[in-house]
Structure 1
Amino acid sequence: MKTILKFLILLLIFQNGFSQNLEARIDSLISSKFKSENPGAVFLAVKKGKVIYRKAFGMADLEMNVKMKPEFVFEIGSMTKQFTAVSILMLAERGKLKLDDEITRFIPDYPTHGNVITIHHLLTHTSGIKDFTSMKSIKDIAREDLSPKELVDFFKDQPMDFKPGEEYKYCNSGYALLGYIIEIVTGQAYEDFVVQNIFKKAGMENSYYASHDRIIKNRVSGYRDKSGYVNANYISFSIPYASGSIMSTVDDLLKWQNVLNGNLLLSPNYREKAFTNYKLNNGTNIDYGYGWHLEKVKSKTIREHGGSIFGFKSMGVYEPTDQICVVGLSNCECNSPTVITKEIASLLID
C-alpha cells in the first residue's frame, strides 16, 4: 500500500512539473511575439477535455489603454468558412440540397462558361471561379453595404481561372456563393441561419455576425502597423460575408469544436464529409475538406483553418486522436498567431 501511495505521489509531482514546464514553454513562445504594450492575442489549448492553457497578452484597445482578457471578442476572418460549410452540410442532411447540385439550380443566371460547377467545388476551392478579393476593383466596393446578390454580381462575369476540379485555388468567391445559396434555400439571411442553427444550439453566446453598428460587449479593436500602430482600415462586413464576417472568442470556438465532435449539429456521416481529404479530377489530394485544411503534424492529421481580415488574424487547430484543440486570436493584422498555435498543438500531441 505504501509503495502504491509513493508511486501516486511521484506521478502527481511529475505531472505537476510537466504542466508547469509546458506552461512556461508556451508563455515563452507567445511573449516573445506579443509584447505587453502592443496589440495582443488570446490563446487557448485543450487536451481531452482539460484546459491546458488559457491566457491573454498585450492590449485590446490602445486608445483606451485596455489590457487584453481571455474572454474578449475578435473578428475571426476566414475561420467563418467552417460555419458556412457546416451550414451547407446541415441543409444537405435535411434534404434541402445535394453536394453535387450544380450552382445554377439555385442561381440560374450564373455564367458557368459551359462548365459544371457544383456545391462541392465551391466548398473545396476547386470551382475555378475567380477570387473576388484578388480583383483590383475590390477597393471600389470595400466600404459599400451590398446585398449577397450584389456581391455575387460583382465577380460573376470574371473569366474562370481553370475548369472545375482541375486545380485547388483558395477562393472567397465560392464561400460568398455558398452564403447566397443558404439564403435562397432557407429564405433566411445567412446571419440568422447561423445564429439560430449553430450559435444558439452550441451555446456560443459571445459569437456574432459582425457589425459596425451593434454594441458588442468585450469587442477588441483591430490594428495595423504602418511605421507604428494605426487603426485598421474600414470594411463593410457585407463584403467578406459568408467567407469571413464572424466574430467570436476562444471559449466559443472550443464550444464549436465540442458540438461538432458531439454530433449535435450533424450526424457522424455528414460531419466526416467536412474532414475528408478531397481529390482533384486527376486523383491528387488537395489537403482540404469542407472549410478545413488537413495537414500532418507528428504523423497525425490535424484539422485547421486561419483567418485574416482588416485588423485581425486567427488560427484554430484540432487533432482528433488526442482531442487537442488550440485557438489563437490576434488584434493586429501585422502579427499572426498561426505559427504559435501550430507549435502549441505540436507540444500537446503525444
Structure 2
Amino acid sequence: MKSMFFSKSFVFLIISLLLASAHVYSQTFETKVDSILQHKFQPDEPGGVFLVAKDGQPVYRKAFGKANVELNVDMKPEDVFEIGSMTKQFTAIAILMLMEEGKLKLDDDITRFIPDYPTHGKTITIHQLLTHTSGIKDYTHMKSIGSIARKNLSPKELVDFFKNEPMDFEPGEKFQYDNSGYVLLGYIIELVSGMGYEDFIEKNIFQKVGMNHSCYASDREIIKNRAYGYQRHGDKLYNKRHISFNITYAAGSLMSTVDDLLKWQEALNHNLLVSQTTIDLAFTNYTLSNGEKINYGYGWHLKTINGMPDREHGGSIFGFKSMAVYIPEKDIYVVGLTNCDCNSPTQVTRDIASLAAKYF
C-alpha cells in the first residue's frame, strides 16, 4: 500500500511539473510577443491588434496603442479595422464559389462577361486576373488616379477608367501585383451573381462564416468599435486621407477584426465555403508561360517560414495596414491589424509566426 501511495504521489508530482512547465512555456511565448509589439507601438499613439491561434484556438490576443488618438481611446482586441488588400482573399474565394456553382470557369476569357473590354487581341482569363499575370495596368499606378480618388464610381465606371490603358506585358508572361485585376473580378462577381459585390460578400461569406463584425467599409455609417485611421508626415500625425471605397472596391474595401479573420481561416480549413479540391486551387503555386513559379495562388502569397510553406497576405489603405500568415503544417494563424499606415505589421507578423512555429 505504501509503494502505491508513493507511486500516486510521484505521478501527481510529474503531472504538476508538466503543467507548471507548460504554463511557464506559454508565459515565455507571451512575454516574447509582448516584447516585440511593445517596442513597436507606443501607448499614446495609433496602435494595433494581434492574434495568434494554434489549432484554431487563440493563444495570444492583445491590443496596443490608441484606437482614437484625439479622444484618448485605448485600442481593444475587438476593434474593427480596414484590411486593405486582404480583401482580395474574399474576392478570390467568391470567384471559386461561383465556379463551383457552374457560373464561370477559371479559363474563361473576361470578354465572356465584359464583351466591350479591349483585350488588344489577347486572351485574358479569370485565372490570370486572380494570379496577377494578366498584363492589365494597375489603375492605382496611373497618374490620373487622383482625379477619381474621392468619386463614388460604379464598378463599370471604374473599369472604364483604366480599360483603355496599354497592356504592361503579354498575358501570362509576368507576375505583377495588379489591383485592376481584382476590380475586374469584383465586377464579374456582380455580373454573374446578379448581386452587388458588397451584398454578395455579406450574404455568402460573412453571414455564412459568422463574421458578424466584418463589413464593406464606410466612412459614414456608425461602425461599433471602429479604430480610426491615421497617417504620419514627418513628425506630425494626421487623420487619414479620404478615399472613396468605390475606388478600392473588390481589391481593398473590406473591414474586419482579428477574431473574425480567425473565423475566416477556420472556414477555409474546414471547407465551409468551397470543397477541398477547389480550395486547393487557391493555394497552388502557379507558373508563368515560361514555366517560372510565381509564389502566388489566388489571393495569397505562397512563401516559407522556418522552412515550412505558409500562406500570407497583407493590406495597405490610407490610415491602415494589415497582415496575416497561416502555416498549414503547424495549424498556426497569426494576424496583425494597425491603424496608422506609418506602422506596418508585415514583418512583425511574420516574426511572431516564426516564433510560434518554434513554440507550438
CA shift at 1:211, angstroms?
Answer: 1.1
* Aligned-partner SS, 1:98: coil
* Aligned-partner SS, 1:24: helix
State the alpha-carbon separation in 1 of the partners of residues 123 and 292 from structure 2.
20
State the alpha-carbon separation in 1 of the partners of residues 153 and 204 from structure 2.
24
- Letter of the aligned partner of 1:150 in structure 2? E
Q: Deviations over 1:12-32 (max 9, x none)?
A: 111111111111110010011
Aligned 1:234-273 pairs, distance under 5 A? 234-273=242-281
Alignment partner, residue 90 of structure 1:
97
2:309 equivalent to 1:310: no
State the alpha-carbon separation in 1 of the partners of residues 245 and 341 from structure 2.
17
- Letter of the aligned partner of 1:318 in structure 2? Y
Alignment partner, residue 125 of structure 1:
132
State the alpha-carbon separation in 2 of the partners of residues 300 and 182 from structure 1.
34
CA shift at 1:3, angstroms?
Answer: 3.4
- Letter of the aligned partner of 1:28 in structure 2? S
- Letter of the aligned partner of 1:31 in structure 2? Q
Check the 8 A contact 2:56/2:266 in 1, yes or no.
no
Aligned residues between the structures: 350
CA shift at 1:299, angstroms?
Answer: 1.3
Alignment partner, residue 139 of structure 1:
146
- Letter of the aligned partner of 1:184 in structure 2? L
Check the 8 A contact 2:56/2:262 in 1, yes or no.
no
2:168 equivalent to 1:161: yes
Q: Deviations over 1:103-145 (max 9, x none)?
A: 0000001011111100000000000000000011001100000
State the alpha-carbon separation in 2 of the partners of residues 289 and 166 from structure 1.
16
* Aligned-partner SS, 1:218: coil
Alignment partner, residue 328 of structure 1:
336
State the alpha-carbon separation in 2 of the partners of residues 50 and 239 from structure 1.
36
Q: Which structure 1 residue ranges, 5 or more long, are not aligned?
A: none
CA shift at 1:52, angstroms?
Answer: 1.1
Q: Deviations over 1:74-100 (max 9, x none)?
A: 000000000000000000011000000
Question: For the aligned residues, what is the CA RMSD?
Answer: 0.8
State the alpha-carbon separation in 2 of the partners of residues 84 and 32 from structure 1.
34
State the alpha-carbon separation in 1 of the partners of residues 239 and 323 from structure 2.
21
CA shift at 1:272, angstroms?
Answer: 0.8
Alignment partner, residue 5 of structure 2:
none
Higher gyration radius (CA): 2
Aligned 1:273-284 pairs, distance under 5 A? 273-284=281-292
* Aligned-partner SS, 1:272: helix
Q: Give the TM-score taking structure 1 as reference length.
A: 0.99
2:60 equivalent to 1:60: no
* Aligned-partner SS, 1:239: helix
CA shift at 1:67, angstroms?
Answer: 0.6
Percent sequence identity over aligned pairs: 62
Alignment partner, residue 294 of structure 2:
286
CA shift at 1:329, angstroms?
Answer: 0.2
State the alpha-carbon separation in 1 of the partners of residues 36 and 122 from structure 2.
48
* Aligned-partner SS, 1:52: strand
State the alpha-carbon separation in 2 of the partners of residues 181 and 249 from structure 1.
27
* Aligned-partner SS, 2:263: helix
CA shift at 1:214, angstroms?
Answer: 1.2
CA shift at 1:320, angstroms?
Answer: 1.1
* Aligned-partner SS, 1:32: helix
State the alpha-carbon separation in 2 of the partners of residues 155 and 3 from structure 1.
73
- Letter of the aligned partner of 1:297 in structure 2? I
